[in-house]
Structure 1
Amino acid sequence: MKTILIADDDFISLEVLKAMLASYSLKVVSAINGTEALALAQAEQPQLIILDYEMDDLTGAEVCSKLRQQEAFNKTPIVALTGHQSSTQLDHCRDAGMNETLHKPVAPDALTQLLETYNMI
């Protein structure tokens, strides 16, 4: 079974995304901040990582940058989750090595397309 890691410090957003993913045959692990996301990424070695851009301790871009420094995560798809579309945030995400951006609120068809793109389903 493929594993997906999602990190979001907004409990409701995290639970909604987990509920949306429940209909797929995936192992879903979740983190409530960037530090926890780093630890879970190491422990679980997920095939796809979705990181909220704005988390209290580390931004999604900072977590991505730290993961990209490790060979194990060079090719792992990492997606930014954001409620904003500022060019500065998008630039930070690209510079950190994120593959793409998923916008909140997440539409079910956008999530399905993302999972198909990265061969998760």
Structure 2
Amino acid sequence: MKSTILIIEDNEQNMYMLSYLLTQSNYTVIEAFNGVDGLRLAHENNPEIILIDIQLPDMDGYEICNKLRHNGLPKNTTIIAVTSYAMGGDKEKALDAGADGYLEKPINPETFVNQMKHIVNSK
């Protein structure tokens, strides 16, 4: 059975790249371009994995992580921050907000899916 991944990302080019890589790796992909839609789709679909951009137009990824972790999302859901925020402390802030892992942009198309799988498997 294919795993479902929700991507919460406002940049269309990033969304296209992530969706393409994951679809080619036999995942079912659900797309949300803002936090409000992302939260709704997470609760409607219960994806196994959620990829969240930190910088979104309506709420930041930290807030989304926190809301997902405290509003009935299954505990086994893997949340991964995928972000260009790469300053000291940003990874820790994402993990403290409820993310299970952190991947920096720009992503490497050749290694992204394996990096994601590593986070999922190490959870």
Match of 2:113 among 101, 111, 114: 111
Classify 1:42/1:111 alpha carbon distance in 2 versus 1 (closer, same or farther; 3 Å): same
Q: Residues of 2 paired with 1:117 and 1:62: CA distance?
A: 21
What SS is found at the alignment partner of 2:77?
coil
Post-superposition offset of 1:113: 3.0
Q: How does 1:41-120 map to 2 (within 5 A)?
A: 41-107=42-108, 108-118=110-120
- Number of matched residues? 119
Task: Find out whether 1:37 has 2:45 as its counterpart.
Answer: no
Deviation for aligned residue 1:116: 4.9
Cα deviation, 1:61-104, whole Å, max 9, x if unaligned, reads 11110010034333311000111211243232121111111111
CA contact (8 A) 1:38 1:67 kept: yes
Give unmatched runs, 5+ long, in structure 1: none
- CA-atom RMSD, angstroms? 1.6
TM-score, structure 2 as length reference: 0.87
The percent of aligned pairs where both chains have the same amino acid is 30
Matched, 1:22 2:23: yes
Gaps of 5+ in 2: none
